[in-house]
Structure formats: structure tokens, C-alpha cells
Amino acid sequence: MALIGYARVSTDEQTTDPQIDALKAAGCAIIHREHGSGGDRARLELKRAIERCAGGDVLVVVRIDRLARSLAHLLEIIETLDARGAGFRSLGDPIDTTSPQGRFTLQILGAVAEFERALIRERTRAGLKAARERGRIGGNPGLRLRSDAAVRAVHNAREARRDADVLRIADDILRHVREMRPAYPWETVARSLDRAGGCRPDGGRWTGPALARAVRRLVRDGFVDASVLERTPRRRDSHDLVTLVAMAVRTLKPPTLANIARHLEGLHCRTPRGETRWSVSSVQNLLAQAIAQGLLEDRPLPAPEAPRRRGRPPKSLKSSVKEG
């Protein structure tokens, strides 16, 4: 079991040091720290902390308000951790899902949250009914009258929100885009991102059209060259496959020859001979080309491998990418 800490402050002027000290004293060896609003549900470090939690791990915070601003968001996070087989613990609150008392407290909080949502729905319906009886109609008056200024303001607000969402995940997608576009179609790049664990700002899976729209925003703002938007050629040369294999070595865990072959098949890439099934020897040839072109370092292994049937392989990256 690993204790994974999460510390958050709202502004850059504040410091997470007191939280870090408390989390270390509680036994957290891994701590994610973040500057951001508690109302922002798309916090990058919180996402990374949750994804790091595996079965038996526990996500630890100093206080509940460091994790979530609302009870609904807190319960959503705990449900996500529970689905991953992980627990949650707050050092300053009586919540520890690894203990019976903590689970009981969580059930009470869930019931309170459901009761609160029911009251809000009832008050909202009553307010709307009373407004209709008095002849008032809800909503933006400018939008009802199709005012150009109101429509433009709403459009600009939506565009600004979408730009901010794309910028939050830009680092996760740009490496794949730079290395694979325009040699490969957007659907292939989206599948590669999905296999690497990347996801859209809303947490969903990437599709080709959605990825293309996101990258167009990044091109417009100068984060990536416009060449990535060019049309994909009908035929791709061996250099594109070499680049794709080099990227697979850097992203797959473990980067064995068999795993790379399955990865290329999952991306629907054909071999240099036009076949759909990849062999280990085909991957090995492209791997040698990647090393020769300087795309990968032919670095020595930290420790010698156990001998195989045909003798001990050379201590290089070619041998470190084993036949899975």
C-alpha cells in the first residue's frame, strides 16, 4: 500500500509547505502539489494523483477543502478512487475510507448531499413556477431578443473557455501531434493518445475530429507549427514508421518488441511490405534504423540480462527492447 499525498493552495502567493510537512509526517512518499482554485474540477495535478492510485493505495490530504470545494465533487472523487480499488484519507477530518468509521461518515455525507440536491431542485421548481405566474420569463433578455452584442458575448465566453480547456492538456497531446502529423491521419493519432493514457479536457476519449479542432486552436495561438494540419499523404515512407517506433519505445511500458508490434497493429499501421500483421523482426529492423538516425540512444543496460537460448544479447537499446 502506498500513501499518495495531494496539497493545494489557491494562489501563487500562498505556499504548500505546511501541507507538505503534514503529509510527509503521515507517511506520504509521493506528494502532488498544485496552485489552483478548489472549484476547478480539471486540475492537472489532482488528475495525476488519482491516476497514480492503484489497488490498495490511499490518497491523503490535510483537509477536505484542499481536495474539493463541494460535497458532490468530493463524493465523485471518492467514487473514482473506489473504482480503482484505492482509498481516501483526510488528516484533519473524520474521513478514512480504509476504516469502518470513515466509511460510515462517508455514507452520512452522501445522504446529506442527496437531501441537499433534492431541496435545491424543489426550490428551483417553485421559483420558476412563481415567476411564470407573474409573467416573467427566465434567461438572458439579450439572447431572447437576439441582440448581436449578447450573442457575441456568449460566443466569446464559450471560445475563451474552450481555449483554456485545450491549454490545460496541450502538453499531453503536442508530442504525439508533432511526431505523427501529418504522416498519420487524425484517427490514428487519437488512438495513439488513447493508448498512452491521454484524454480530452472533459475526461472523455479523443476522436479524430475533436483532436483536429483542439490542435487548430493551438496552431492559431502559435503553440505548434501549421504543418501539422496538412493533409495526410496516401502512402507513407519508411521514415514515418521509424519515427512511430521510436515514439513507442519512449511511451510503452514495457517497450518490448512484441508490445511495439501490437501497438502498431492497434494503430492500423501497415508494415513496410504493406501487411497488417507486424512481426518482431520488422519492428527490430525499424528500431535499428531509429538508432542509426539518432532518434534513440543506443545506451547500455544498467545491469546484464539473464542469458537466453541463443546466448547473451549485446548490452544496448536493441537488446533492452526484448521480445516480450
- Calculate the alpha carbon distances from 143 to 20, 127, 132, 155, 231 in Å: 48, 21, 18, 11, 39
Residue 10 annotated among the catalytic residues of the structure: yes
Q: Cα–Cα distance between 322 and 324 in angstroms, integer?
A: 5
Q: What amino acid occupies position 160?
A: A
Q: Are strands 87-90 and 30-35 parallel, antiparallel or unpaired?
A: unpaired
Active-site hit among 10, 70, 192, 238: 10
Interaxial angle between packed helices 186-195 and 257-266, expressed in degrees from 0 to 180 and rounded to the nearest 10: 140
Q: Cα–Cα distance between 119 and 200 in angstroms, integer?
A: 33
Q: According to DSSP H, which parts of the chain are helical? A: 17-25, 44-52, 71-83, 100-133, 141-144, 148-168, 170-180, 186-195, 208-220, 238-251, 257-266, 280-292, 317-320
Q: Cα–Cα distance between 88 and 90 in angstroms, integer?
A: 7
- Catalytic positions are 10
